[in-house]
Amino acid sequence: MLDIKQIRENPEQVNKLLRRRSPELNIDEILKIDEKRRSIQKKADDLRKERKEISSLIGQMKQEGKDTSEIQARTRKFGDTIKKLEQEEAILIEQQNTMLLNIPNLPQEDVPVGPDEKHNKVIKESGIKPDFDFEPKNHWDVGTNLDILDFERGVKISESRFVIYKGAAARLERALINLFLNINTKKGYQEHVTPFLVNTKAMTGTGQLPKFEEEMYKCSKDELYLIPTAEVPLTNMYCDEILKESELPKYLTAYTPCFRREAGSAGKDTRGLIRLHQFNKVEIVKICTPETSKDEHEKLTRNAEELLEILGLPYRRIELCTGDLGFGASKCYDLEVWMPGSQTYKEISSCSNFTDFQARRANIKYRPDDTGKATFTHTINGSALAVGRTVAAILENYQQADGSVAIPEVLQHYLGDERSINK
């Protein structure tokens, strides 16, 4: 959520940055409501002040034995007017907050400006793409031929975009989860096991609600949502808390299944493991001070890159332009892994700096050591990594001419020293 004070004091700058995201975005209506709300608040405050002064006068008159009935009747009318003004102000506050909850974060000044993904910036490419002496297959064909991925039965027991992992694929998925968690914890991230169902407040805190409700799976009877990412429970653990500066930065990691309707992705990556309604992911989250967030964002992104390097998977880092930024992100790097079957890169991690956008919504603060005033933290997160997409990348990059798949050396001891997946 944007800071209403920042909007009020720098409206032109806020509008300029918002329009870098999309030309129709602005905070003009929020300012109108804020001005009206503050006017009503002032009227109510003036009346309270006047009522207080009159109350003192009434006390004095009573001591002097004077009749106070007329002035008391006037004071009662003040109360009725103040109550009406408070009701009007409450309505305006609700309208203002609703608008603020639907306004995206401001992009950082150095984020590339552009309307869509075509304007994203390639920061670097890393790794060596495999050179096959045969035509590489897509991962869904590799997995089906090896009888380790069952898309048909996944659809039969659920619906489209659900899959069953079998045998070696199930073990590979589990091995990757263990590998990612082990490496993340060695880098200082504290491992957590969190609930997979969260309440409306948590989903609002990290920005999924109200804007993206159609993307979520909701258990209406219990008013709980299946999480779309571990970012939601990990970040919201600290909602409505004031942390000590000495506690920061917090490094958090968790494996969770993730659930997304993918309502806005019709026709995109409909085959395979890239865009499922249920998938596994290991997340890394940081809660830090504003002064350190840019550096912590770079380090978090590098942590995710190192997982791809350990697995020997070619990838590239993309800096998202203003028009392609996620709703809550002020700056974002996507890591895209090379997929030989389609000769394209696919996103495998999205590493975002949210500045104080989520902290303001979730009310996560810290108290600096040298002052007594609490202020909002910054939050950062990224996938480390999306597990199903990593399986897909391994099946494609490590496929062999005979249809088998070599297992990356770093994973072999997790799989009982298996070196390949064979039919």
pLDDT, tens only, 211-258: 999 999 999 999 999 999 999 999 999 999 999 999 999 999 999 999
- 188, HSE (Cβ side, Cα atoms, 13 Å): 10
Separation between Cα atoms, residue 293 and residue 357, nearest integer Å: 13
Q: How confident is the model at residue 265, as a pLDDT?
A: 58
Question: Which residues contact residue 210 at a Cβ distance below 8 angstroms, ignoring those fewer than 6 apart?
Answer: 98, 101, 102, 204
Q: Which candidate, 400, 307, 299, 360, places its Cα nearest to that of 101?
A: 360
Q: Cβ atoms within 10 A of the Cβ of 152, count?
A: 9
Q: Which residues are catalytic?
A: 260, 275, 347, 350, 389
Q: How confident is the model at residue 264, as a pLDDT?
A: 57
Q: Which candidate, 152, 127, 142, 193, places its Cα nearest to that of 172?
A: 142
Q: Quick one: CA dihedral 194, 305, 418, 273, positive or negative? A: positive
Separation between Cα atoms, residue 333 and residue 297, nearest integer Å: 9
Give the neighbor-by-neighbor strand order of the sheet with 378-386: 121-126, 315-319, 331-339, 344-353, 378-386, 278-288, 250-259, 190-192
* 345-397 tens-digit pLDDT: 999 999 999 999 999 999 999 999 877 799 999 999 999 999 999 999 999 99
Tokens 């202020």 locate to 375
Domains (range + CATH), the chain? 28-101 (1.10.287.40), 117-421 (3.30.930.10)
How far from chain centre, in Å, is Cα 180?
A: 20
* 168-221 tens-digit pLDDT: 999 999 999 999 999 999 999 999 999 999 999 999 999 999 999 999 999 999
* 43-55 tens-digit pLDDT: 999 988 888 888 7
Q: How confident is the model at residue 76, as a pLDDT?
A: 75
Q: Which pairing describes strands 250-259 and 190-192: parallel, antiparallel, or unpaired?
A: parallel
To the nearest whole number, what is the mean pLDDT of the chain? 94
Q: How confident is the model at residue 331, as a pLDDT?
A: 98
Separation between Cα atoms, residue 384 and residue 285, nearest integer Å: 10
Collapsing DSSP to helix, strand or coil, 164 comes out as strand
Tokens 């503050």 locate to 38
Separation between Cα atoms, residue 388 and residue 391, nearest integer Å: 5
Q: Which candidate, 326, 383, 325, places its Cα nearest to that of 111?
A: 325
Cβ distance 205 to 236 under 8 Å? yes
Q: How confident is the model at residue 263, as a pLDDT?
A: 61
Separation between Cα atoms, residue 147 and residue 145, nearest integer Å: 5
Q: Cβ atoms within 10 A of the Cβ of 42, count?
A: 11
Cβ distance 239 to 362 under 8 Å? yes
Tokens of 121: 């910036």
Q: Which candidate, 260, 247, 235, 237, places its Cα nearest to that of 382?
A: 235
Tokens of 169: 């694929």
* 100-152 tens-digit pLDDT: 999 999 999 999 999 999 999 999 999 999 999 999 999 999 999 999 999 99
| pLDDT beyond 90 at 19 | yes
Q: Which amino acid is at 182?
A: N
